[in-house]
């Protein structure tokens, strides 16, 4: 074995032995952790200098900081995530931190698990998971070894932070707006998932449940119609086709995401219907495409840049040593545009906004 000693890099164990402290203490000094005394720092630094210990990236990865945060997102196609990432990147700028991104792949929790493992293997210092499907228990397992911020879920956890939009208010705003325009046959496009999460914690189940509740509160339980596809263009297209084919065709569609609304728009056009003359359409996320004059989609703004920036700040705090859990909620606003108008049934009920 000694034949390899000379060739071997100086390790953290060598440093610990030389300084006569534990490897944990060395590791703490290396990653600039909380609760290291100046004396300890000095002793370890002296050993590092004497032995010429130079942690290279992979070694640092094993022992200390990698100055990398991992981001899990379902799919890069959703432009809302670009807003979130812009906010995150702004927050990381100048900190020396780089973000690496993996795609969870949508509705398959197994694919998501593999993507998260890829981040764990790359030994990121912290993770931002956007709308993950994993169970709270799995998330807490991850949080035990890696600083974790979860965006887009309403979990209460003692070991990770949550950043989310008040999806209940957002859905109330949309359904209330459509009710005020006189619509009664309001249908909803939601998202299927393969998650093992308590449904109450996922944003799409909250939006769907709130839609249903507000409809019921207005005596419209019989008009509830939900197509459960996905928050993608394809999902919106298929969901709208399904809903438009119903004998009692809806006069308004509330798609749980702008991306699904764009797909719905294609289905509505294919069916020869006019927006908003024949059917009103609303989305969620207030993406830039929604704001285009030719689309002009009514949507809900949840300020992705602020959510991403806040998530970045919380993540850096956690990496820095904060262990208390934080929940940060953004209150969304409705952005009414030309895609929603009075119901063609003509029974406008001015004061009927959801309460």
Q: Which residues bind a second copy (CB under 8 A)?
A: 1, 3-5, 7-8, 11, 13-14, 17, 57-58, 61-62, 66, 68, 75-77, 79, 81-82, 85, 89, 98-103, 105, 114-115, 117-123, 233, 262, 265-266, 269-270, 288-289, 291-295
What does the alpha-carbon distance between residue 92 and residue 305 come to, in Å, rounded to a whole number? 13
At its nearest, how many Å lie between a second copy and the CB of residue 224?
A: 28
Q: Compare residues 296 and 306 and give the one whose CB is closer to a second copy.
A: 296
At its nearest, how many Å lie between a second copy and the CB of residue 14?
A: 7
At its nearest, how many Å lie between a second copy and the CB of residue 17?
A: 7
- What are the two backbone dihedrals, phi and then psi, of residue 132, each rounded to the nearest 5 degrees? -70, 155
Cβ–Cβ < 8 Å for 50, 272: no
At its nearest, how many Å lie between a second copy and the CB of residue 351?
A: 32
Cβ–Cβ < 8 Å for 126, 66: no
At its nearest, how many Å lie between a second copy and the CB of residue 158?
A: 28
CB under 8 Å to 180, separation ≥6 — which residues?
Answer: 348, 349, 350, 351, 352, 353
Q: Compare residues 193 and 233 and give the one whose CB is closer to a second copy.
A: 233
What does the alpha-carbon distance between residue 169 and residue 171 come to, in Å, rounded to a whole number? 6
Whether a cis peptide bond, with omega within 30° of 0, leads into 201 is no
Cβ–Cβ < 8 Å for 98, 92: yes
Q: Compare residues 119 and 226 and give the one whose CB is closer to a second copy.
A: 119
What does the alpha-carbon distance between residue 21 and residue 9 come to, in Å, rounded to a whole number? 19
At its nearest, how many Å lie between a second copy and the CB of residue 321?
A: 23
Q: Compare residues 100 and 137 and give the one whose CB is closer to a second copy.
A: 100
- The alpha carbon of residue 331 and the mean position of all alpha carbons in its chain are separated, in whole angstroms, by 15
Q: Compare residues 61 and 352 and give the one whose CB is closer to a second copy.
A: 61
Q: Compare residues 61 and 180 and give the one whose CB is closer to a second copy.
A: 61
């Amino acid at each position: 074995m000694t034949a390899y000693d000379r060739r071997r890099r100086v390790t953290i164990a060598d440093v610990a032995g030389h300084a006569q402290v534990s490897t944990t203490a060395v590791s703490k000094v290396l990653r600039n952790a909380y609760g290291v005394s100046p004396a300890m720092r000095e002793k370890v630094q002296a050993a590092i200098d004497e032995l010429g210990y130079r942690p290279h990236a992979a070694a640092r990865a094993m022992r200390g900081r990698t100055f990398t945060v991992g981001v899990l997102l379902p799919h890069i196609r959703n432009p809302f995530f670009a807003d979130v990432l812009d906010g995150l990147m702004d927050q990381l700028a100048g900190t020396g931190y780089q973000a690496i991104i993996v795609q969870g792949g949508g509705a398959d929790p197994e694919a998501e698990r593999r993507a998260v493992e890829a981040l764990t293997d790359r030994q990121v210092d912290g993770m931002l998971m956007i709308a993950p499907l994993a169970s709270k228990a799995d998330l807490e397992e991850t949080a035990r070894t890696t600083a974790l911020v979860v965006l887009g879920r309403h979990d209460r956890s003692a070991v990770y932070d949550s950043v989310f939009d008040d999806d209940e208010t957002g859905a109330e705003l949309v359904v209330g707006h459509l009710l005020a325009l006189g619509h009664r046959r309001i249908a909803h496009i939601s998202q299927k998932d393969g998650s093992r999460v308590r449904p109450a914690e996922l944003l799409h189940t909250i939006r769907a449940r709130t839609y249903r509740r507000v409809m019921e509160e207005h005596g419209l339980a019989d008009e509830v119609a939900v197509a459960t596809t996905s928050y993608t263009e394809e999902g919106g297209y298929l969901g709208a086709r399904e809903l438009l084919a119903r004998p009692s065709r809806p006069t308004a569609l509330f798609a749980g995401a702008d991306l699904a609304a764009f797909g719905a728009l294609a289905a509505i056009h294919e069916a020869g219907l006019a927006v908003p003359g024949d059917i009103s359409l609303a989305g969620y996320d207030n993406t830039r495409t929604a704001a285009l004059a030719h689309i002009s989609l009514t949507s809900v703004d949840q300020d992705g840049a602020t959510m991403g920036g806040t998530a970045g700040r919380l993540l850096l705090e956690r990496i820095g040593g904060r262990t208390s859990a934080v929940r940060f909620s953004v209150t969304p606003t409705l952005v009414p545009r030309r895609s929603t108008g009075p119901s063609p049934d003509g029974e406008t009920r001015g004061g009927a906004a959801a309460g």
